[in-house]
Structure 1
Amino acid sequence: MPTFQNQDILEIAQGTALLRIAPQAGGRLLSWHIDGQPVIYWPDQADWSQPARIRGGNPLLFPFLARHRVDGQIGRWRDSAGVVRDLPMHGFARDLPFAASVDAQGAGVTMTLSDSDATRAAYPFGFRFDATYRLADAHTLDVDLTTTNTGDAPLPYYAGHHFYFALPHTQRGETALELPPTQRRRQEADGSISPAEPGESRCTLDDPHIMDRFHCLQGTPTQPVRLIAPGLGRTITIDLQRPGSIPWYAVTTWTEAPESDFYCVEPWLGLPDAIHNGLGLRWLAPGATETASLRIAVAGSN
């Protein structure tokens, strides 16, 4: 097994593309390089004692994403019977080890997290959560999130991605984000979701209005999401309208600091606190399975 930053990892290669993945660290996609250049960012110095806190790769957000709260306390949720439970922000998947299976062609991997004693106190449901990454070619990455209800009660969830796209911070002003029709919302200080505002079809990544904003998709997307980075000679297309996929609810834009050399574009199945506000909350019947799929294609990568 290859090692990276003194960690055992998986590597998936296709042509000039290389994926690095750490199943034991939350099923984390660490990085994606094409021709040696990073598409998905990973820091040179990473604190592996707390993998979920590393700014990079693609943390998997499950069973809930972002902030949920009860009586002002972040990281708590109340079920329909009124029982309050502790569940970390962005869920527990990014903190737990996944089992992994590489496909016969060596072009993809499926990682699996199932309910256990480590999950049931926070989330008392039977589930199987699979994340699949597959390189269709050197410039195209297919990603599936598949959730199965293995229990005997309806399962509430809203999963998502947290892709850290590599981008020098000095290039934000010239890097554009193109979106299909959306309404823009945010989470207020008290945890509520703001009223919807008309979304923009194009903006640049130095626009303060898109920081920590939810671009809620309106109907079936008529076009993909595009990240156009002329400074890198690169356009990244995120296709959210894949065959057989359940609908994505929103795309969130975020970065950590003005000097961060990444920008996050995050497809989500729901909005923060959906377990309480219902915005994107999904209910999966016992025995049912559903998949949220997307495709990331990179054109013009140097």
Structure 2
Amino acid sequence: MQNQPTEDFQGQSLVRIGHADSYLLLAPQHGGRLVRWVHRGQDVLYWPEAADWSRPAKVRGGNPLLFPFIGRHFAEAKPGQWQDQQGTVHTLSQHGFARDLPFDVSALDPQSTITMTLRDSAATRAGFPFAFAFDAVYALLPDGLEVTLRTTNTGTQRLPCYPGHHFYFALPHAQRAAASLALPRTERLRQLPDGKPGPAGPGESTYRLDDPRLQDTFHVFRDSPSAMLSMPGREIRFELDLPGSVPWHAVTTWSESETCDFYCVEPWVGLPDAIHHGQGLRWLAPGQTESAVCRLRVAG
């Protein structure tokens, strides 16, 4: 699409959506990555000052798009593989391939909305032999952001998927003890070394973000899905029970280390390795479209 509003950032030409003090910077050519989300003059997401743009999929920051599957997969005890219903083993990297591939800008309103689209190609069919169109729609709201992950099966066979987000929220590590995550009724679990979901226990209603039980942990919703991330000076409310959306299965909490100035709260449609155990696995019939919609409201 021509005539895209752009801004130079770290030597990259990124698409800019929004207004003077509330806007998005996105890199369709680098996995459809949301790089910056500025709300009323303040960065909501973390992005490193010295990002390695030679390997943007590996940069810790923004919001990488996770598709067709999230997390780590194992087939015959080997990581990075999954087995289809016919018994064929396919190779697929952690979190899928979307964050590694260029998206097309398929619709654009410079003031508020962008749609970026990834379609199947030789690069995707090597590890995921299905025809699809995967759209990421970002829409700025006066008090936040709405994101739709829309998958269409453009082929002739059923398509499995369970996409998700990987939001890196800006949070100085010294403030983790003063930050918290509130959840509805959940079960808390982690992935076992063989890929299977580990034993589940009852989740807490509120966690401090310095709680080690949050590290690389899945919080599976047992009531209407939602979350509230409270940080010094800012609250972010996750609205996940929205009309027209498939169910969000869990949010995942993670950070790279105790000294990182970011914290990840990630809405996921399914759990890692769901293609084998079924928790959150979605099947789309030929011609079918499904959307996973989340809305992030910012206060403060």
User: Per the shorter chain, which TM-score range?
Assistant: over 0.9
* Match in the other structure for 2:177: 173
* Match in the other structure for 2:202: 198
Deviations 1:109-147 (A, max 9, x none): 00000001111111110100000001022x310100000
Deviations 1:19-70 (A, max 9, x none): 1100000000011112332101111110111111100000000001110011
Deviations 1:121-174 (A, max 9, x none): 11110100000001022x310100000000000000110000000000000001
* Match in the other structure for 2:79: 74
Aligned partner of 2:117: which letter? T
The TM-score with structure 1 as length reference comes to 0.95
Distance across 1 between alignment mates of 2:62 and 2:109? 24
Matched, 1:151 2:130: no
| Identity score, percent | 56
The TM-score with structure 2 as length reference comes to 0.96
Preserved CA contact (<8 Å) 1:184 1:216 = yes
Distance across 2 between alignment mates of 1:118 and 1:287? 22
* Match in the other structure for 2:3: none
Matched, 1:54 2:56: no
* Match in the other structure for 1:129: 134
Q: How does 1:1-302 map to 2 (within 5 A)?
A: 1-14=6-19, 16-104=21-109, 106-137=111-142, 139-221=143-225, 224-230=226-232, 233-300=233-300
Preserved CA contact (<8 Å) 1:14 1:135 = no
Preserved CA contact (<8 Å) 2:237 2:297 = yes
Distance across 1 between alignment mates of 2:267 and 2:224? 14
Preserved CA contact (<8 Å) 2:139 2:145 = yes
Secondary structure at the counterpart of residue 111 of structure 2: coil
Distance across 1 between alignment mates of 2:42 and 2:69? 32
Preserved CA contact (<8 Å) 2:134 2:152 = yes
What is the aligned residue count? 295
Over the aligned positions, Cα root-mean-square deviation in angstroms equals 1.1
Preserved CA contact (<8 Å) 1:254 1:265 = yes
Distance across 1 between alignment mates of 2:123 and 2:185? 40
Distance across 2 between alignment mates of 1:36 and 1:260? 22
Shift of residue 6, structure 1, vs aligned partner: 1.0
Preserved CA contact (<8 Å) 2:74 2:194 = no
Deviations 1:77-123 (A, max 9, x none): 11111111111110000000000144346311000000011111111
